[in-house]
Amino acid sequence: MQLWDPGQVFAILCVLAVIFAAAWIFFRGNVGRCDSAVDLSGKTVIVTGANTGIGFMTTLDLAKRNARVILACRNREKSEKAKEEIVAKTGNTNVVVRLLDLCSLKSVRDFAKQIIEEEPRLDILINNAGVLNEGRRKTLTDEGLETLFAANYFGPFLLTNLLLDLLKKSAPSRIINVSSVINKFATIDFENLNAEKSFKHHHQYADSKLAVILFTRQLAKKLEGTGVTANVLHPGTVYTDLFKNLFFLLRYPLLTFIRIFCKTAEEGAQTSLYLALSDDVKDISGKYFVDCQLMESGANPLSRNMEVAEKLWDVSEEITGLSSKKKN
């Protein structure tokens, strides 16, 4: 007994082809690309999480432009391998590794101190590193901070503030923060920033990415007139190591989908590069970008609430110890 006639099979294949094409166009039809040809000779750049994924491809491009590039990473062995590959591919030997664990405020302070002592200038800071920790239980750092929020927000917040004087000294200079479209589903609960009341990893991740946008907007406000700009971006859905800790029944189907439809790490790096290099944004600050385009509508409306942004800044100063430093 024939269950499917040739006409039905053809119709099903046509429907699948249309679905495939529509998904391809939706996810890849508007991949932005940085077309700047700027040379960065004499400029210094820091990229966090530079040894893999988007961070590696960002660093590779900047090294090709003759920048002095500092790979700010927590794993020395992986970072040294990344450095060797970058040097081999670009011929730029002015590439260095400096250890930085964004989960540790002490590590952030040690890193910033070393940079300030060793580097006469800092032209571009790209806060690229992030963790998802999907599927893991709540964990705390040695300093009592929830690990995910510390790595994605408190660490970059402290690092950026500690390097601000060097960035101002080197102006015009730029700060680029990497967020995620997941910020749309986030909120800011000041009573639960450190998961004091409850911990749901996907909520914590989304909230940390919203916090990055609020931080960027308040930072831009504070930097007005200094020659330093700060912008934030969603890199797109990219195949990177970020999903390596997902539960395996979710991980493999998701990674298969991402490999087919979503961006490569090189494509995911383009908006970071655009904000770091393009003359189009040299006077723009405090804005949200997607695919090398200003996309304020793509950010959570709460991210434009400057009262929340100011309160988050004040709370973050207390948590990271910046407020006590100011008093001293």
Annotated catalytic residues are: 205
What tokens appear for 232 in the block? 């934030």
- Nearest alpha carbon to residue 25 among 287, 261, 263, 209: 261
List Cβ neighbours of 127 (8 Å cut-off, separation of 6 or more).
Answer: 48, 156, 159, 160, 175, 176, 177, 178, 212
Integer-rounded Cα Rg, in Å, for the chain is: 21
